[in-house]
Chain A
Amino acid sequence: MKADVPPSGPPLVELKEISKRYGDLLANDGIDLSIEPGEIHALLGENGAGKSTLVKILYGVIEPSAGEIRWQGRPVAIGSPVEARTLGIGMVFQHFSLFDELTVAENIAVALSGEWSLATVRGKLGEISRTYGLALDADRAVWTLSAGERQRIEIVRCLLQKPRLLILDEPTSVLTPQEAEHLFLTLDRLSAEGCSILYISHKLEEVRRLCRRATILRAGRVVATIDPRASSAREIAALMVGNEVGEIRADAPHHPQGEMLKISQLSMPPAGLHGQALTGINLVARAGEVVGIAGIAGNGQTELFAALSGERLAERPDAVVIAGKPAGTLGIDARRRLSAAFVPEERLGHAAAPTHRLSENTLISHAATEVSRTGFILANAAKRLARTIIQSFDVRTPEGDPQARKLSGGNLQKFVIGREIIRKPRLLVVDQPTWGVDAGAARLIRQALVDLARDGSAVVVVSQDLDELFEVADRMAVIHQGTMSPLKPIGEWTKEAVGLEMLGVAQAQGGAHAV
């Protein structure tokens, strides 16, 4: 069925007056939503707007407190994900539902219904990988993979089940522009084949590229159902956030000076069997500038971050020089004392301890400073610090000092970045600052990074989101298979050139502008 033809039958799925209550919190409040066969329908909203709750209800993971779901006109109760899959609903989760110790093939097999053997799964996996350009090694254990690679598993796992309705939660956040375009073609094709798609994204341009209808949620309610092509990105963002979205403001000309970070000829063997080695990386970040590092997931970003933060040590002290001091063989705390700060990619588990309160989480990077003395925690100082971070960075919390895991992704990210920025570090290294974060929070985080640089610090942003890098970075380099492209002012890069560097074709073809 073509998307242009008005559907004659009932919608594929219809949600009527769906509500979900958690104690005092109304996560979903009387939500109406209908999806036609073959339609790509966008679901937009900030983190905490109720999108995740809604799709979990649709996928049978949680039970609605009230309301009705109709599938092809008939009322259904979706009691479990198995029932959802039996109906033909597939889902790519935002927080991956993967098993770290199992291999890629096993992770896919475990979700399949019907008869299969690992050999046939491996065969199908290869087929889907080729068709949709989602490269995956069937026999690698998931714990060795980057976030981007993990997401590919989720997508392939769904496509293998030939769903009637595919729910995708932020599917492109870790893809290159080329990969994303490839995915859009896939989605267009699935849509033309009659498969409906519920597409959750914070990237408005994507939604406008793909969808004819978008439902916008704010604070658990539907605020509008619109045609995203008929509205500007700014209008849509305003509906989502509830107030006008401003551009990132960078104060006019500035003159970066003083090398806060100098990486010279940094090489490192891969950490695990499947890690990426770093070879001869050179990079300089000066006080007052934001340096962006682009690249596809799994090309050495994780290793580079570990080498910068001191989670892994270099062989030579002068491989990493922070604020003029050779720091290559120093540990994390020693580097922090040189006034460096680090925000890793995984906010829950790496940047923050999930079951610890926010005040206790300040200790992770402030241990050597004001919140502890001679080994004892200064609980009041920690609480004060947490409160300051919460206020300065607009962190929305369910209670005064909640456990880290109780925060939505965007709010926790604001907290962990705020925790580092509030120390006024002279060097900040941050890995995927706005991954899976809503538009409002992303804007605040980017503004904070730019402001920090304008105040005279050096900021290194590792990101797979090119729009983000073009927005915040003064200079940018691309990492590909553990090697770094030349660092060039942002004005000298085009998206195409970056995309080609990401794929490693730029050097091979002898020029960034070759196609």
Chain B
Amino acid sequence: MTTFEAILLTIVTASTPLLIAAMGELVTERSGVLNLGVEGMMAMGAACSFAAAVTFDSTLLGVAAGMLAGTLMAALFALLVLGFAANQTGSGLALTIFGLGLSGLIGAPFVGARRDPVAPVDIPVLSDIPMIGRLFFEQDLFVYASIVLTVLVGLYLTRTRSGLTLRSIGENHTSANALGLPVRRVRFFAILFGGACAGLAGAYLALVYTRFWSPGMTAGRGWIALALVVFAAWRPGWALVGAYIFGAATVLQLHAQAAQFGVPSQLLSAVPYLATILALLLLSIRHGRAIGAPGSLGAPFVPDR
């Protein structure tokens, strides 16, 4: 394997958790709910998946536990913002702090444990193509799943009735309610979906990316996923582009730091953020009209009865 190939492979690994978490948050936000708890849900996903995977020696059970943990966290958030119409920003920040703390507690007995790498899916013949073979045809299942997820979310939002309902509710929940659309039910499931995705992203971090647990290992990736959704103008395709630009910039700046160009490392660490913002900004300028957030994003919904 050449260095170039290795770099490409790490880029994919670095981008995948961002993409998965961003897809979940994108659906949640399209329904009009801003969940700032992605980081916390992701941390819980990572801790619970690692604990389950080590305890039962099963990656599958680990992934299931991670997704479940994210979903439960999201259910708590949904209770606050839908049940009690609590402020979404405050509830989301609380969820992140709570998740980071609780994940440390759950993960504590597992610090120092290691998991074996997850075997990639090797598609015969195609994976032997030089340079790009292994990049496209010998990845782990999560990578393929994240791409499929992006396509499905895109199709769901633009091509299905339920997706149209969800977008309508996010756009204007008062009108949606007047038309009789089930605002809170749809938002509940959208929040749960967001939680499951964040949990899965966390599981990927713990089981594939690092293969160990340490407190605070999500290292702000939840926040990056949130930012990606905004800069991608709530579009799945753009979020994919953004996730990969961010992943690529992260990996490349690490190599640049190693090569010691004489550029301060702190500056290089900022490159992924700048590159992602710039790229997505260019995309949205090209689109012509600045695309706004879903109309009801972040506003609590209290039915007028």
Contact = CB atoms under 8 A, between A and B. Distances in A.
Interface of A: 59-63, 80-85, 93, 96-102, 106, 109-111, 116, 272-273
Contacts, number: 60
Contact of B165 (A59, A82, A110): A110
Contact of A99 (B161, B168, B180): B168
Contacts of A273: 288-289
A100 B170 CA distance: 11
Contact of B175 (A60, A98, A109, A272): A98
B179 A100 contact: no
A101 B171 contact: yes
A98 B171 CA distance: 9
Given A99-B171, A100-B171, A110 B179 contact: yes
Given A97-B178, A101-B295, A106-B168, 12 more contacts: A61-B177, A62-B305, A81-B178, A83-B180, A96-B175, A98-B175, A99-B171, A99-B172, A100-B172, A100-B295, A106-B164, A273-B289
B181 interface: yes
B180 A80 contact: yes
Nearest to A117: B161
Interface string B157-194: 00001001101100110111111110000000000000
Given A99-B172, A110-B165, A62 B179 contact: no
Contacts of B164: 102, 106, 109-110
Contacts of A62: 304-305
Interface of B: 161, 164-165, 167-168, 171-172, 174-181, 288-289, 292, 294-295, 304-305
Nearest to B181: A110
B174 to A, nearest CB: 8
12 contacts: A84-B180, A93-B178, A96-B175, A97-B172, A99-B168, A100-B171, A101-B171, A109-B161, A109-B164, A110-B164, A116-B161, A273-B288
B199 to A, nearest CB: 30
Contacts of B176: 99, 110
Contacts of A272: 289
Contact of A61 (B161, B178, B292): B178
A243 B176 CA distance: 39
A81 B179 contact: yes
Given A62-B304, A97-B175, A272-B289, A81 B168 contact: no
Contacts of A59: 178
B178 A99 contact: no
A112 to B, nearest CB: 9
Nearest to B291: A101
A69 B295 CA distance: 35
Contacts of A96: 175
Nearest to B171: A99
Contacts of A81: 177-180
Contacts of B175: 96-99
A150 B175 CA distance: 13
B74 to A, nearest CB: 25
A321 to B, nearest CB: 32
A60 B180 contact: yes
Contacts of A101: 167, 171, 292, 294-295
B118 to A, nearest CB: 40
A433 B295 CA distance: 27
Name the 3 nearest CB pairs between A and B, nearest first. Answer: A81-B180, A82-B180, A97-B175
A188 B295 CA distance: 38
A59 B304 CA distance: 13
B305 A63 contact: yes
B168 A102 contact: yes
A331 B31 CA distance: 38
A96 B164 CA distance: 18
A240 B177 CA distance: 31
A359 to B, nearest CB: 25
A59 B305 CA distance: 12
A319 B207 CA distance: 68
A106 B181 CA distance: 14
A349 to B, nearest CB: 12
A93 B164 CA distance: 21
A47 B167 CA distance: 32
A109 B161 CA distance: 8
A388 B181 CA distance: 43
B200 to A, nearest CB: 29
A97 B304 CA distance: 14
B291 to A, nearest CB: 8
Contacts of B165: 110
Contacts of A99: 167-168, 171-172, 175-176, 295
Task: With a 10 A CB-CB cut-off, give which of A80, A96, A106, A110 has the most chain B CB atoms.
Answer: A110
Q: Quick one: which of A60, A99, A100 has the most chain B CB within 10 A? A: A99
A100 B167 CA distance: 11
